[in-house]
Amino acid sequence: MSLSNTVIAEPRRTPSSKLTELHDRLMETRRLSLALADPLSDEDQVVQANDDASPTKWHLAHTTWFFEAFLLKRLLPGYRLFDETYEYCFNSYYEAVGPRHPRPKRGLLTRPTAADVRAYRAHVDEALVQMFAGDMPSDAAEIIELGINHEQQHQELLLTDILSLFSAGPLKPAYRKAKPGVSVQNAAPLAWSSFDGGIFEVGHDGKGFAYDNEDPRHEALIRPFKLANRCVTNAEWIDFIEDGGYATASLWLADGWNTIQGQEWQGPLYFEEADGGYMQMSLLGHRPVDPAAPVTHVSYFEADAFARWAGCRLPSEFEWEVAAADLPVAGRDLGADHLRPLPANADDGLTQMFGDVWEWTASAYLPYPGFKPAPGAVGEYNGKFMCNQFVLKGGSCATPAGHIRRTYRNFFYPHQRWQFTGLRLAADA
């Protein structure tokens, strides 16, 4: 199912068995958002750590407003708005909907309170249950599917934004204690898998849900290439640091060099030198860096420079997609409940393709041939951001279970690194 198909004219009805499944997934998604916020105080939920991040309270309200604005107001007869001012407070970037509170100032929204937002969620959840009690048209079911996936995106953002907030304070609190039973291990040796070139079909195949930016399916010419069996590790990144990687201009794109000079970057976000090694802030608190775990919280600029230092390059998004074609979509995502990337298994072949860290690719975030955004406000979901950003693949330790797929295209600006972003090396065959 594609976002481009979310507005359907004819009143088709969704089979009851699919509605039951959709209802259960929706309610589970709504419960998970509250569960992720549960370890936080109301004070934690109000603060905004930086212009890219948003307060937890805002995530909880915005995902609720999404259902209200695009579903309930349109398709539930007699729906009563919880508060008409919330549209201004919790609209994110939908110009077609109307004006909104500036993103960098979301942390100033002390009102409505966190308790008000929880009441708002309960009000909308009750209305969502009413939607399922009636004769639901298929366009409603498709908007609910989109809303589920939209909320899952914000669940990951909620966690990474809390990490950003907690790292900024002097106490450096843990969001949660480490899960017991995770043993320290060495990284799997770096090895390479080779892939033949050719013309491949890429993009979503139309089976199941996908965002509109994964369409249309089309052909891509790919030359023979090699892909590393695992992600780049913290130990390898420390070698890059200690070899002068952040002080060698020839390794960097011009914008990247200007960025690290201007912001005085000396390592990944949250890295700190300490006696005998390095420390890094995490959702599990301020901890020694695990040398065997994938490096995370690096920007595209840093990933590109590291690959050049290593004598390699970043894969294109289509190389990554072709390499993952025969792999199960399974890995250490949020469902594994580790809340941090872990070292690769020593199995043969490609590992860590799904989960652990989002992997930067060399591909600019651009429309596929024939792409057309959906009409109306929902068409603003992905298409208008197709400029000056790069594609990431694979999901992370904070991506909700069931949310990722091989054709999924995440995207960020090249300087951004507060998400769980890492890299995998590629090379020409």
- What are the pLDDT digits (tens) for 340-350? 999 998 777 89
Helix 138-168, helix 114-133: angle, nearest 10: 160
pLDDT of 255 higher than 90 = yes
Residues in the chain: 429
The rounded mean pLDDT for the chain is 94
pLDDT of 9 higher than 80 = no
Q: Are 53 and 165 in contact (CB under 8 A)?
A: yes
pLDDT of 323 higher than 70 = yes
pLDDT of res. 332:
96
pLDDT of 10 higher than 50 = no
For 332-343, letters b (16+ CB in 10 Å) and e give bbbbeebbbbbb
pLDDT of 41 higher than 90 = yes
Greatest mean pLDDT among 296-310, 342-356, 371-385: 296-310
Q: What is the dihedral of CA 333, 337, 338, 341, to 10 degrees?
A: 10
Q: Domains in the chain, please, with CATH? A: 3-168 (1.20.120), 192-428 (3.90.1580.10)
pLDDT of 185 higher than 70 = yes
Whole-structure pTM value: 0.94
pLDDT of 18 higher than 50 = yes
pLDDT of res. 12:
53
Based on the number of CB atoms within 10 Å of its own CB, is 125 exposed (0-12), middle (13-18) or buried (19 or more)? middle
Q: What is the pLDDT of residues 210-238, one digit of tens each?
A: 999 999 999 999 999 999 999 999 999 99
Give residue 177's identity as a one-letter amino acid code.
K
pLDDT of res. 6:
37
The residues that bridge with 198 in the sheet, in sequence order, are: 222
Quote the CA–CA distance of 169 and 167 in Å, as a whole number: 6
Helix 138-168, helix 16-37: angle, nearest 10: 10
Mean pLDDT across the stretch 65-71? 97
Mean pLDDT across the stretch 345-372? 94
Quote the CA–CA distance of 66 and 222 in Å, as a whole number: 39
Q: What is the pLDDT of residues 88-140, one digit of tens each?
A: 999 999 998 999 999 999 999 999 999 999 999 999 999 999 999 988 888 99
